[in-house]
Structures are given as structure tokens and as C-alpha cells.
Structure 1
Amino acid sequence: MLPKLSRSADHGALWLGLAAGAAVVGGRPVRRAALRGVASLAVASATVNTVAKASVRRHRPLLDAVPVIRQLARQPFTTSFPSGHSASAVAFATGVALERPAWGLALAPIAASVCFSRVYTGVHYPGDVLAGALLGAGAAFAVRGLVPTRAQLAPPARPRASAPALPGGEGLVVVANAGSGQRAAVRTDVAEQVRAVLPLAEVVECGSEDDDEPLEEVLKAAAGRAAELGGALGVFGGDGTVNAAAVVARRYGLPLAVLPGGTYNHFAYDLGIESVADACRAVETGEAVAVDLVRFRPTDDGADADTTKYFLNTFSIGAYPELVRVRERWARRIGAWPAGVLAAVHVLNSAKPVRVWVDGRERQLWMLFVGNCTYRGVGLAPVRRHDLADGVLDVRLVYGGRLARTRLLVAALTGALKHSPVLGTARARQLRISGIRSGTHLAYDGEIAPAPHALTMAKENEGLVVYRLLLE
């Protein structure tokens, strides 16, 4: 088996295959760990093949004493020191471990076997393998230095807020939306998950095919029950469901417990909640923070105040709402991640710029993006937030015009996106958008809605209390 394992790791094929499988079937934490592993492997492989081997030029061991059954069918022709296979194996496993220690531990026996196979098959000295392993580990830590892990950049535990500690979950009423974007194949019974940790919590399930009660009504009833108990409102679902729950929790003056149960779970992950167990532990200990909301409402003549909406994550007009619409149409057939890639390709080929007025200035835009609090990431690739109560709107505009998409792509590939004239950025506390044409759609927290002719948005600082584990 060892010669076969050694051959499977040629050119990193074994590790790239594992990463690809994780990207297809795993959730966001799995993809993040796999990506870190691949990046670490790439750095290690490049270092071995461009610098290390050329510097030492050690000859391969003689095969006279190695039984034929242990030898590789095709012998490597490069120099021996250091072992590239060992560097790639340890780099990938270490990179994954730095993001998700348990998964890295599971990969460790495979990586160790690949390292040992290089000596067993007679193509490396033990010193070659040891040097390669050290180089691979160093590459993983170098990548972490450039791109910190989530544990290193956990959202700041501020401003701390008062929320009741609910031992055993007594007083917590959780609304579980069965219609959220999480794939049915990996969905588990949320009631069992919650009650395993919080046996006294109440769980209300909705959104099934035979349930026609609106989500908002279910949330209002649950909030009323939680208010009677002096407890908190909980929600299991994706970002759209969390958005609806946040509005209700704010209205009733209740703290919110977010249990990630959607496809992307952007708000939960930015909050530092990656599992139901994380949220349950925070509820039991009463650890909570205040976060910002953004309210927006139409400013057309005769607009009703009841049309005010909120978002926790992002708002956009232009290409992105069309991307969401296409992605949702394909997601149930091919999965959310492949659907997102295909939708992006489709939108890049078919999207048209929109003409709007932004704070009184006419703009032709491919997309207007507004984030609740400052997002990290370059240009149009907002990755995550490290402060959910910074009091600002993160505004990014992609201007239309001649060859705008091509110029934007070239700037991204050359690393000059931040300075591209096609991209505009700003920080603001409020924003006014007007002159929106009829038929235009907007997206907020993953939900699509027709856009009004004009709207205003403003921050509601520390407008919501949410449970989260405090790391400081």
C-alpha cells in the first residue's frame, strides 16, 4: 500500500483531491480549512522546487538494498534533498490544523504515512523527509502570518451587553426554519441538537412543505412567549431567517441567540458562532454583545413607514441581486457552491449597468454594495467583519463605462484592485439612493425584493443584543 500511497501524492494530487471533495460537500468552515491547506501546500512546493533542491543537489539513494516490490514503478529524476512529497503532506495537514485542529489531527496519519513511504520506497534519505516536513510546517505558518486564521482574528468581544444567563436553556424559545438554505442531505434535527445541550429550551419548527404559517408570525409568537418567560429568542436558519428574527427581537427588546442553519451563515460566522453548540454555551453563560443594524426605507412620495426594513450583513443593487436570483434557481439542483460559480459566470456575461443617484450624484454602476460595518477584503471581495458595532456603512461602487468589467478583472489579477478607477469606496453613517428605475431589484442579507424609486439607509448603533462566546 505504501508505494501506491506515495504515487497518489505525486504533484499534490492526493491533497488537491481531498480539498476539492471538501469544497463540494463541506460547509464554509470546511472550505476555509481546505483552502488554507492548499495555499500552504503551494508555498511549500514552490519553495522546494525553486530554491531548496537547486541549492543542495543531493543524489538519490541507491536502490540496491530495496526489494523490487517496494520500489516505485517510475523513479523520480529530481535531486533528493529535501523531500517535496513530505513538504506538501505536512504543509497541507498543518494548514488545515491551524484552521480546524480536529481535522488536521485526522489528516496527520495520512501525512505521516506519505512521509514514511518516501523512505520505504527508497527514493529519499530520512534526512530529506525530515527537512521537507519542517519546510512544509514552516510554509503553513508563513501562510498564517500573511492570512490570519479565524481564531487569531476573532471579532472583538465588545461592546459587552446584558443578557440573561439561561441554565439548561430555560426561557429560550428557538424558531427553526426548515426552509432555510442548508442542504437537506446534511440537515440534522435541530430540536435534538438544542435539547442535547439545553434540555429546557422550547423549539418551534416551521417552514416545512405542509406549514403555511408565515415565518414572521411564528417569530412574533415565539418572541411573545420568550418575553413572558423573561428569556430570549433563538433562531435556527440562514441569513434571511436571522434577519427576520433580528427585527422581531429588536421590536420586543429581547436578546437573540443565532444558531447557524443556512447555506452561508455570514452573520453567525462573523459573530464567532460556528455551530449550534457555540450558541448554546453562550446562552447558558449569558455572554452577549451589542451589534449594529442598518435600517432602510423608501422615500417615495406617500411611502408608508411600515415599509422600513433592516439588514445585518449587506445590501446591494446592480449585478449582485441578479447573481442571487440565478444562484437560488440552480442551488437546489446542483448545490449552493457550484450554483454560485455558475451564477457569477452568467452575470458577468449578461449583466447591464444601472443608473442611480448616490447622495445626490448621478452614477452609472455595475454594482452598489453596502456593508453593515467594515468588511475586510480587497475591493469587491468582502471577506468578513472583525467589529460588528463600528457605527459605519462600508460602501463600495463598481462604476460602469467603457471596458469596465475587463479593467476590473485586470486590476484584480494584477493586485491593483484597491487603486483601480473602476472601484470606489467610502465609509458613511447614512446613505441616500434615488433615481432607481422601475423593475430594478435589490438584495439584502441574501433576500431579493423590488427596489423603490428612492430610499435612505442609516445605522442603528448597537441596536441588537446577541449571544456569543466572549474570548477576551
Structure 2
Amino acid sequence: MVPMRKRKTWGHWDQAAFLTVAARHWPGGDRVLPRLSRSADHGLLWFGLAAGAVVVGGRPARRAALRGVASLAVASATVNTIGKRSVRRVRPVLETVPLVRRLSRQPITTSFPSGHSASAVAFATGVALENRKWGLALAPIAASVCFSRVYTGVHYPGDVLAGAALGAGAAFAVRGLVPTRAQLAPPARPRADAPALPGGKGLIVVANAGSGQRALGGADPAQVVRDALPGSEVIAWGQPSSGPDDEPGDGPDEGLDAALETAAARARDLRGALGVFGGDGSVNAAAAVAKRYGLPLAVLPGGTYNHFAYDLGIESLADACQAVETGEAVAVDMVRFDGGDGESGGWFLNTFSIGAYPELVRVREQWAPRIGAWPAGVAAAVHVLRTARPLKLTVNGKPRQLWLLFAGNCTYRGLGLAPVRRHDLADGVLDVRMVTGGRLARTRLLLAALTGDLKHSPVLKSARVRHLRVSGLGSDTHLAYDGEVAPAPGTLVLGKENEALVVYRMPAG
């Protein structure tokens, strides 16, 4: 009688693969893989990469790093609370693993699943969901960490595969809770007609040489634009700035206005579009000119913060080029402000404020890249509370005592008195927020900042209106709009103009 052959189980295949790896010589592996495996202990390798992206990268890099860390945290928590306790698999026997490969400190937890593999794949997948190229760059590192766990003898291949699957699942779970940029609906509405300009042909760009020096590494902005859009015509304006911000030369200026007028006239003759490379101050000046000439505006982010460009989904010059070449555009609101009795005023695309708000934003944005948004918001609140004085004003006919008044073009999302961004640039309203004076106002505002509950603080008032009238302003009062500061008239009138400007935006998908 012929004996029946035993069917090999998954455990047999898993152990056989482990022994094959242990028996094979891997050139260079003995020097690299054990060190790489140790560097990933407690996620230190991935936290280090994320910290580097936050320090030296731009906004997209910071967002990708944050998603990677969040995915890692979910994967690690799942492994330690569910995975390790549900399958108590014993670690491999190290007899077949060469001594030079073994880790100096052996793990004491159960073998299934591999926490290192879960963290590695979660981080790389999370980054890839935000930016595919960066994720692909991280993939070899993540794969090497996974393999190192088998190579050093602390996991079976099945443990690694299970950890990798769990890590990828964690990244997709985070994406389900917090959609990536690609999942979100294209910012702003409604869609508008704008010419598609392949290679930028028909686009006349005013490039502010005082903007973007840090991001461009000292390169000439005009040449950078020409290289990206060879069919465009570029007018260079201003002098390079050695400072970290957009000044000097980023706000409304006679020289900048003249350059924009020249560019707009040329774009109108070509039936093309006006472009601007610079920060929010430059964009503000260009928007006023584009509106007057009836031209679509292409915003090429070249400043330090580029709030308006980001709200359009444009985070890089490549994004702006894609928008221009495809002709993807929307109509956006603008807000007019003036003295209400014929006095000259201006326009703003982002925010307008009087009182202490400009200083609060300055401190917050100065510290946020280094200490995080929440600590920076607290530091800004402390600074404002220590130095500012309330203003006695009349707002839409009602007397008020205010520490600060903020008005946003369309509804902002974010902290109560320090809004972050918008998802609709044509909703027809002013987002008004006021921090009132009164008894213990400073203490109450500080407590709200410390607890992160600024939105629900009783000293914070908010409203959505179409018009705003502010009177009783003193002669020493200043206003801030789109990063610019100017003396305020005794009376201010703000009014929305719906869908006043056509701008290119990042195409969907």
C-alpha cells in the first residue's frame, strides 16, 4: 500500500522560505540590513524622514509627511492592540541564521504580524496616496526594512506579508477618514471659460523677482517661468529679496502696477491671459488689473505662503502650468473696500483685518513651520493679549469694543480667529469674525487658545454677510489686506462682487 503524501501547510512553506533566506549569501546585506532594521525601531526612521520633509519641504511635502505619520500610527496601534494578541506565534529559531546578521537586542513580543513591516508600508503608502512619486521613492526603503526582518531572523516571511498588508490597509483607512487632494472636488466654482494655452503661448507673465527666492534656491524667477512655459512672454520686475518673506517688492507698487498694465494690454491684444509669479500681494495687484481688462488670471505660486494659489489647488509651478495648458478655470469672488464716500480703496482676494489680527497671523505663521500650528496659535494669542488694545468701533450700525476684526473673502475653515483655507471661492459671502472686549476678555481668549476651543469661545463672534460697514476708526488705525498694510480711513465699507474674476485652477484628478 502506497503511503499518502502529507499536504504541506502554509506554515511549512513559510518556514521553508525563512530557511532559504537564512542559508543564502546576500552580498552587502550583512553590513546594511541589520542597521536598517535597527534604524526603524519605534518608527524612528520614518519619523526622521517626516521631520526632514517638514523642515526643508514645502506645503505638499509637509502634507505627505503628515499622512505618512498618521498611517504609521494607525498601523502600529492595530498591530500592538489586535495583531500581536490574536495570533501568538513564536519567533523563528536563530540557529540557522548567521551570527553576523542577528540583532544585538532581540524582540520579546510575538512574531505575527511584523510591526516594522506594518509601519514601513503604512508610511510609504500614506505618502504615495498624497504624492505618487515620493511614495515610489520610499518604496525601496520600505521593502528593504520588510526584508531585513526576515534576513535578521526575527520574523517569518508570512509575518512580514501580514504586516505589510495591515500597513497598506491602515493608509487607506486614513485616506477614507481624511481624503487626499486628488479625492477632493476641484476647488472653487463655477467653471468658467478660459483659453487653453499650450506651452503658455498667449500668456503674459509678470514675474516678481522679490518673491520665491527661498523656494527657488536663488534662481531667476523669470527664467524659471520661461523654462516651464516656453511659449509665454515674461516681464521681470523688482529686485531679489534676501529676506524670508515676500517684501520688498511684493505688494501693490507703482512699478508693479505699470508692469501689470503693460502685460495686460499685450495679453488682450493676443486674446490670451495675464499671469503673475509672486506671493499674495503680487496676486492682489494682478487680480485688480485682470478684472479691469476682462482677462483670465494665471496664478504662479512664487511667494512664501501663496494662500490664494493653494485654495485654487495650485501648489507648485507645475500645477499652474497644467491649469494654463488645459484651460481649466473658475470664476471667483472679489471684495471691494473703500471709505464709503468716494475715498479710494482697493480689492482683496483672501483676508481683510483691523486691530490685532495682522500681528496674530504674523506670529502664527512665523512659528508654525517650527513648532506646529496649535503651539503657534497659542504663542500668537499670548503675544496679542500682551501688546494689543481694544478698538471702539461701530460695525454695521452696532457699537462694539473689539480686539480684532477679520473679514474673509468667502467662508474659511480652521481655528476660530485664525482661519486656514477655503473650499469655495464663489459663495457670495464675507466671513466676518470679531474678538470682543469686555470683562476678562484677555483671560477668556487665552483659555480658549490653550484648550483649542477658540471657535466656541464667548469672546469670538462670527457672521456671514454680503456687506460690512465699519466706522469710528482712529487716525492711527491700520488695516491689512492680502498681506499688505495701509492706514485706515475713518469709515470703511466692504462689499462682495460675485464671480468677478476668472482664474485658472488645478484640473480635476
What is the TM-score of this pair, normalised by structure 2? 0.82
The amino acid that maps onto 1:56 is V
Structure 2 match to 1:183? 214
Aligned in 2, Cα 1:135/1:454: closer, same or farther, shift over 3 Å?
Answer: farther
2:430 to 369, 372, 393: 393
Structure 2 match to 1:409? 449
* Greater mean alpha carbon deviation, residues 265-274 or residues 449-458: 449-458
Q: Which SS does the other structure have where 2:336 is aligned? A: strand
Structure 1 runs of 4+ with >6 Å offset: 210-213, 339-343
Alpha-carbon shift at residue 223 of structure 1 (Å): 1.4
Q: 1 CA distance for matches of 2:404 and 2:144?
A: 49
Q: 1 CA distance for matches of 2:66 and 2:162?
A: 24
2:343 to 305, 316, 328: 305
Alpha-carbon shift at residue 218 of structure 1 (Å): 1.4
1:152 to 180, 183, 189: 183
2:354 is aligned with 1:354: no
1:441 to 454, 467, 478: 478
Could you report, residue by residue, the CA deviation over 1:119-148 in whole angstroms, capped at 9, with x for unpaired residues? 111122222222222222222122212211
Q: 2 CA distance for matches of 1:409 and 1:326?
A: 14
Q: 1 CA distance for matches of 2:327 and 2:442?
A: 54
1:37/1:91 contact within 8 Å kept: yes
% of aligned pairs identical?
72
Q: 1 CA distance for matches of 2:135 and 2:49?
A: 12
2:251 is aligned with 1:238: no
Could you report, residue by residue, the CA deviation over 1:380-414 in whole angstroms, capped at 9, with x for unpaired residues? 453432221111122233444152233313542xx
Could you report, residue by residue, the CA deviation over 1:295-330 in whole angstroms, capped at 9, with x for unpaired residues? 11234xxx6532x211111223343311455589xx
Structure 2 match to 1:84? 115
2:314/2:505 contact within 8 Å kept: yes
* Greater mean alpha carbon deviation, residues 426-435 or residues 9-18: 426-435
- Structure ID, larger Rg: 2
1:407/1:422 contact within 8 Å kept: no
Structure 1 match to 2:34? 3
The amino acid that maps onto 1:232 is A
Structure 1 match to 2:28? none
1:285-304 matches, cutoff 5 A: 285-299=326-340, 304=342
Q: 2 CA distance for matches of 1:162 and 1:347?
A: 42
Could you report, residue by residue, the CA deviation over 1:362-385 in whole angstroms, capped at 9, with x for unpaired residues? 444444332211223353453432
Q: 2 CA distance for matches of 1:92 and 1:364?
A: 49
* Greater mean alpha carbon deviation, residues 335-344 or residues 20-29: 335-344
2:381/2:449 contact within 8 Å kept: no
2:187/2:311 contact within 8 Å kept: no
Structure 2 match to 1:93? 124
Cα RMSD (Å): 2.8
Alpha-carbon shift at residue 339 of structure 1 (Å): 9.5
2:77 to 31, 35, 46: 46
Structure 1 match to 2:369? 337
Could you report, residue by residue, the CA deviation over 1:169-198 in whole angstroms, capped at 9, with x for unpaired residues? 333210000112551663544444433453
Listed as ranges, the gaps of 5+ residues in structure 1 are none
* Greater mean alpha carbon deviation, residues 347-356 or residues 144-153: 347-356
Aligned in 2, Cα 1:324/1:421: closer, same or farther, shift over 3 Å?
Answer: closer
Listed as ranges, the gaps of 5+ residues in structure 2 are 1-31, 242-248
Aligned in 2, Cα 1:368/1:88: closer, same or farther, shift over 3 Å?
Answer: farther
What is the TM-score of this pair, normalised by structure 1? 0.88
The amino acid that maps onto 2:357 is Y
Alpha-carbon shift at residue 106 of structure 1 (Å): 0.7
Aligned in 2, Cα 1:317/1:133: closer, same or farther, shift over 3 Å?
Answer: farther
2:47 to 11, 16, 33: 16
Q: Which SS does the other structure have where 1:81 is aligned? A: coil
1:279 to 300, 306, 320: 320
Q: 2 CA distance for matches of 1:340 and 1:448?
A: 26
Alpha-carbon shift at residue 4 of structure 1 (Å): 0.8
Could you report, residue by residue, the CA deviation over 1:390-449 in whole angstroms, capped at 9, with x for unpaired residues? 11122233444152233313542xxx5544434333221122223334434332222233
2:444/2:459 contact within 8 Å kept: yes
1:202-213 matches, cutoff 5 A: 202-208=233-239
Structure 1 match to 2:98? 67
2:332/2:425 contact within 8 Å kept: yes
* Greater mean alpha carbon deviation, residues 121-130 or residues 178-187: 178-187
Q: 2 CA distance for matches of 1:119 and 1:191?
A: 52
1:373/1:391 contact within 8 Å kept: yes
* Greater mean alpha carbon deviation, residues 24-33 or residues 353-362: 353-362
Could you report, residue by residue, the CA deviation over 1:51-97 in whole angstroms, capped at 9, with x for unpaired residues? 33233333322222222211111122223222221121111111111
Alpha-carbon shift at residue 35 of structure 1 (Å): 1.1
Aligned in 2, Cα 1:45/1:381: closer, same or farther, shift over 3 Å?
Answer: farther
The amino acid that maps onto 2:316 is S
Q: 2 CA distance for matches of 1:247 and 1:468?
A: 18
2:448/2:454 contact within 8 Å kept: yes
2:271 is aligned with 1:223: no
2:487 is aligned with 1:450: yes
Aligned in 2, Cα 1:450/1:85: closer, same or farther, shift over 3 Å?
Answer: farther
2:310 is aligned with 1:269: yes
Structure 2 match to 1:369? 406
Structure 1 match to 2:160? 129
